[in-house]
Amino acid sequence: MNELELTGRARTHVVELSQPNCVVHYEVAASFLSMRDAAAYDGIDLVARSSFRDFNSQMAIWNRKWAGEKPLYDRNSQPLERAKLGDYEAVDAILYWSAIPGGSRHHWGSDIDLIDAAAVPAGYAVQLIPEEYAPNGIFARLSQWLDANMQRYGFFRPYRTNRGGVSPEPWHLSYAAVSLPALESLSLSMLRQVIDASSIAGKPQVLARLPEIYTRFMLAIDGPQ
Ligand SMILES: [Zn+2]
């Protein structure tokens, strides 16, 4: 991937699928669809809640959270009040659950947030919170199925455990053959340039902490097992 693709400012590396509706890296599509077929055989309707996301969409999420227009959560998914947080704490609270624009794995098209559409009770709004994927949650079966099968299709969970950065996200799968080289190619200086040229809210606070953000929230992931 080139610099524009790595940082979510191009769509030249992704394709749009209609069944299920999602946008993924062209090298991911076949494996994802095979995994979806296998899941369907076991009664699971594997659907992408979120797939490719570009820089501007990620920045819109960031800016709304920074402004307190979109809820912030602590590590235990408990809501936080933006007005009570200093800027330093706000950066942390956003990054526990949302990536820095330019540094989101969703820019690559290799990473997908998955749900089992067949397991969603009528009238229930999916939240993508760890409780839904826990042993008593609505996606417990999906989670177990992914544990047992995702590796065969080339996927892994980069946010499986808490490594001090991004909170565990059992719904977030990554296609190793695309995402491992992508992470190696995306340098700190590349990220700095993109952030510097953007209209991200809290830019001075972000730039001042960028090496830490890069190490803690982008590099510190769980690799394929
Ligand atoms: Zn995700």
pLDDT in tens, 14-27: 999 999 999 999 99
pTM check: above 0.85: yes
CA of 86 relative to ligand 1 center, distance in Å: 26
Confidence class for position 225, pLDDT limits 50, 70, 90: confident
CA-CA distance, 223 to 129, in Å (whole number)? 21
- What is the mean pLDDT of the segment spanning 103-111? 98
Q: What pLDDT does 5 receive?
A: 98
Q: How far is CA 43 from CA 31, 52, 142, 203, in A?
A: 18, 26, 10, 46
Confidence class for position 75, pLDDT limits 50, 70, 90: confident
Average per-residue pLDDT in the chain? Answer: 96
CA of 106 relative to ligand 1 center, distance in Å: 7
189: nearest Cα among 213, 220, 210, 218 = 210
Confidence class for position 77, pLDDT limits 50, 70, 90: confident
Instruction: Report the percent of the chain where pLDDT is more than 90.
Output: 95
Residue 164 has pLDDT above 90, yes or no: no
CA-CA distance, 126 to 225, in Å (whole number)? 28
Q: What pLDDT does 49 receive?
A: 96
CA-CA distance, 75 to 84, in Å (whole number)? 16
CA of 17 relative to ligand 1 center, distance in Å: 18
User: Model confidence over 37-56: pLDDT tens digits?
Assistant: 999 999 999 999 999 999 99
Confidence class for position 76, pLDDT limits 50, 70, 90: confident
Q: What pLDDT does 27 receive?
A: 98
CA of 20 relative to ligand 1 center, distance in Å: 17
CA of 19 relative to ligand 1 center, distance in Å: 19
User: Model confidence over 122-157: pLDDT tens digits?
Assistant: 999 999 999 999 999 999 999 999 999 999 999 999
